[in-house]
Chain A
Amino acid sequence: MAFAEDAENGATLVTVQGAHTIDFAIAVLGPWADLNALATTQYPEVQVGDLAKPQARTIPDHLLVQARGAANVAISIEVAGGRPPEAVPFRIEVTGEDGDLVPEGGAMRGFQSGKLTLSLRGELQHVDAGEVAAMSTEAANVAAMYAALRTDIVSETSTTPDFDHAAHLAKLIHDVLSSARTGLRKKAEGWPA
């Protein structure tokens, strides 16, 4: 997709798949204290558009992030682009003193456009997805979002992520790119809580 090959458009591997992945890690494990990042281009020439014309890639297609969470927890994240659509696994391993907790999934557009499963100590857990359980892989998470938004509107609650959260996540991604550029470690400032 030619559109995603131009950083000016705001939708690249780092800002889309990278941001969703980091946001997931923060949602599950809590806020980060600091990070450093390595963003590289592993496939320097790509074929894009209907004519599959070869062109030089100008955006990073691979992201590594090391972060420190609450209480010195070490977090390591890899987001790899340039993979065939059928080989896009998503896996997070959380290692605790009593065992591993593993959310797993993966979809062509990124894990956020697919369904996830959850394993605890190697055993698949049953998770009741409620009203979105029967929906298609692509529609399920979007439907969960709409259901939450509907409930927020009707019940005057505030559970859906708002624009302030978007700004905090954008700041973190800004710092990821800055760290990748300079090699310097970035401390949390204005990142999602």
Chain B
Amino acid sequence: MAKALGVGIIGASAERGWAKLAHVPAIQQVAGLEVAAVASGSQAKADAAAKAFGVKSGYADGKDLIHDPSVDIVTIAVKVPDHRELVLAALGAGKHIYCEWPLGRNLAETEELARAAQFARFTWPSVCRRASTLCFCGRASWSQKLLSVARLALAFFLRRSPLARRWKQPWPSRKTRRMVRPL
């Protein structure tokens, strides 16, 4: 496999929090990814997190992490009011982003960040093939597979209902229906 993609986590604490509980073990166990850097509220906290998670670089400032060349994906796991500044910085640096939901504090801020992402996608097409992979922890924060099975099962057993006729998804193929039948 090609070189692992480096993930930089902004908001990682050695002591507690969602990054320690979920992000770090997830990245460590998904093939093709590695934790490349962490950022925390102070240099001491960042160093402690880097040591605890076996990571080379710890930063007191999330913006320094964003510009670390070993970071391909910037994970933003800080409080919502701090999302905007970091998201804009990561977009400006042409990095992939995994931002925790909610993306912004309100509708206006979320729309602003969505526009900024569209602009980044348009501005940096060579840097940002990546731009289509900007994401947030919302819709996919459960097993994608469970979701797809649920969808297929629904499409199958609601096949004669009005819902199925108005189903927005393409109708499952014969082959797909066979896959679903054991349900």
Chain A contact residues, CB within 8 Å of chain B = 3, 8-11, 15-16, 19-20, 23-24, 27-31, 69-73, 94, 96-99, 101, 103, 105, 109, 111-113, 115-116, 118, 120, 125, 127-132, 134-136, 138-150, 152-154, 156-167, 169-171, 173-174, 192-193
Mind listing 19 A-B residue pairs with CB under 8 Å? A9-B80, A71-B165, A73-B162, A96-B154, A111-B142, A116-B143, A118-B153, A125-B183, A141-B140, A143-B26, A143-B27, A152-B135, A156-B132, A160-B133, A162-B136, A164-B118, A165-B138, A170-B103, A170-B111
Chain B, Cβ-Cβ closest to A92: B150
CB <8 Å contact, B168 and A127: no
- Does any Cβ of A come within 8 Å of B122's Cβ? no
| In the complex with contacts A146-B26, A149-B133, A116-B117 CB distance below 8 A | no
CB <8 Å contact, A30 and B167: yes
Chain A interface, DSSP helix/strand/loop, else mixed: helix
The contact of B96 among A8, A19, A113, A149, by CB within 8 Å, is: A149
How many residue pairs between the two chains, A and B, have CB atoms under 8 Å in the bound complex? Answer: 255
CB <8 Å contact, B143 and A129: yes
Chain B, Cβ-Cβ closest to A73: B163
Chain A, Cβ-Cβ closest to B80: A10
* B167 cross-chain contacts in A, Cβ below 8 A: 30, 70
- Does any Cβ of A come within 8 Å of B137's Cβ? yes
